[in-house]
Amino acid sequence: MKQYPPPLRWVRACAVLSLAWLCNALAADLPVALGPLQHPDLPNAKLTVANLTQLAATQHGAAKAQAERLAILIKNLFTAEYQVTKALTAATQAEAEARRKERNAADWMKPNILGRINEVASREALAKAAALRRDASQRLAEAREQLVEQLRETDSVIEDFHKLEEFDVVLVLVDTSATLAKRSLPNKAFTSTFPPECVAAARAALRRRQLQDAIPPTTAIDRHSMEIMRLRGMPGGNSRQRLDLGDVHHRLVALSALDAAVC
């Protein structure tokens, strides 16, 4: 049988599909790079930033920009939380020192062997104790405010990746943000602007994708290939069954819908 070259539109379609596959492969690298954040602590954050930096070095254009943006975000987010941790430690130490000075102030008010007290020294000790608490509280408040700003920036990044339907990335960032806010901020100090219903929808969409990915890909490919051969009258089909490319496309779409329904 005489062989015919494939129509130009088929060649273009294959090129588009190849490009789409490549984009999906690059996008799939982001969730892998973010994997350590399943346990969102400082060592895993450093590992994640290293992963994203390495990933960005291998990519170009939008994919590179996305990896770099996530690396900066994760670095700033966990740096801000680390500053809160340092401020909390400093506040604990300042409280211990303030209490020591309060005990000294009380001792100055006890009569000595001569029956005298030292009101000036007692007031100075109390003033130093108050200053220690005030300074520690201010540093802690500033550190927490920086963390809140980074969490707001995280919300902005979440929104952007949600528009791109990068649900893996969205959910990693949502869970990381919630964990940091819960463990490093007072209750209700930060409320995410990303709606809970969108989080639920993203989880559902990701589960659907995972179910679809779990199906052996050759099943759909073989069915589509056989249908193309049959409709084009290639070996295994009838030449009288040849249809135009538009009809082939519509039938393939129907097959894809059937596959999705099965999933």
Q: How many domains does the chain have?
A: 1
Residues 120, 135: Cα–Cα separation, whole Å: 22
Residue 31 has pLDDT above 70, yes or no: yes
Residue 183 has pLDDT above 70, yes or no: yes
Closest CA to 91 of 126, 41, 146, 134: 134
Domain extent, residue 94, equals 14-214
Residue 66 has pLDDT above 80, yes or no: yes
Whether 261 is covered by a domain: the verdict is no
pLDDT more than 70, % of the chain: 71
In angstroms, the Cα distances linking 249 to 9, 92, 145, 222 are 11, 69, 55, 16
Whether 189 is covered by a domain: the verdict is yes
Whether 93 is covered by a domain: the verdict is yes
What is the predicted pLDDT for the residue at 14?
45
What is the predicted pLDDT for the residue at 217?
55
Tokens for 219?
């099943």
Q: Are 203 and 170 in contact (CB under 8 A)?
A: no
Residue 152 has pLDDT above 90, yes or no: yes
pTM: 0.70
Whether 174 is covered by a domain: the verdict is yes
